[in-house]
Amino acid sequence: MKTVQICLATYNGEAFISEFLQSLVNQKVKEFEVLVSDDGSTDRTVDIVKSFESELEITIHLTASSVPLGPAKNFIRLLELSSADYVFLADQDDVWLSDKVSVCLQKMEDSKSTEPNTAKCVFSDYYVVDQDLCVIEKSGLSKVTSYFSVDKLMQSVEYTNFIPGCTVMVNRKLVDLAINFECNSHILMHDWWLVLVGKYHSGLFMYIQEPLVMYRQHQHNVVGASVETTLIKKISECLKSPSSKLSQLKNQFNMIRAAGYKKSFLLFIIIRCYRAAIFE
């Protein structure tokens, strides 16, 4: 039987983490372990996690660093600690629908006919909700998948990641590829890194059109759903701090190059700026 782990990175999440953990208790399929890496929370986050130990199989790892690692490094740490055949990424402030684990597992199992050594990623659509779980958008991915196929979107994932980590389940092969690279300093976001590594190693990406996550938006989000802005505003923001924007582009370029991107920095900038102006 395939083993499953849910990687949960936590940091001062006492406001919403109980609802997330309860959504794990409510899963139709419960054969999984929850790996928690707490990044030095100063609130009741760890105590709340421990209060669910009678209902969930939970392993808690506390960071030894006096300075928070941040979400990317904290999740990479979790991936390094993981050992399961299948691994989910989880955010402390979201809520999973009760069939998320079962549907994702079924999708992954249905791909068994492919090459067994293939890196695989299953991801789903999601509801965008406010802090009270009231639905803001019924489909977080419809804005992009209505116009482009997933295969088409994967062709330009170097420039914009359209797959939120909270929707993702990956297999052991993809995890091992992602954590064995000597390039941790180049990783901007863990979910984007997994997608890039999968793409550049002939990975299989499987999309579930059904929303399986309530992706909560609130004032303390580290990363949230994108907010539409006008082209004029985008150009204005760029002109205000060109050196800062260039530094961001260099960091992004270093990450995608570490994953396998072969184009020049100049071509990357041209394509990235064009996409930001037209599509984002």
Alpha-carbon distance of 87 to 82, in angstroms, equals: 8
Q: What DSSP designation does 225 have?
A: -
The pLDDT of residue 227:
47
The pLDDT of residue 181:
67
Structure tokens at 226: 């994108």
Whether 158 contacts 192, CB under 8 Å: no
Q: Which CATH class is domain 4-216?
A: alpha beta
Instruction: Locate the domains of the chain by residue range.
Output: 4-216, 231-278
Alpha-carbon distance of 17 to 21, in angstroms, equals: 6
Q: What SS3 state is found at 121?
A: strand
The pLDDT of residue 152:
87
pLDDT digits (tens, 9 = 90+) for 109-126: 988 777 778 999 999 999
Alpha-carbon distance of 9 to 62, in angstroms, equals: 10
Whether the pLDDT of residue 210 is over 60: the answer is yes
- The pLDDT confidence band at residue 220, using thresholds 50, 70 and 90, is low
Whether 129 contacts 60, CB under 8 Å: no
The pLDDT of residue 231:
47
The pLDDT of residue 230:
52
> Considering Cα of 171, then 174, then 180, then 186, what sign does the dihedral take?
negative
The pLDDT of residue 280:
57
Whether the pLDDT of residue 236 is over 70: the answer is no
pLDDT digits (tens, 9 = 90+) for 54-104: 999 999 999 877 788 899 999 999 999 999 999 999 999 999 999 999 999
- The pLDDT confidence band at residue 105, using thresholds 50, 70 and 90, is very high
Nearest CA-CA partner of 5 in 77, 89, 76 = 89
The pTM of this model reads: 0.89
Whether the pLDDT of residue 196 is over 90: the answer is yes
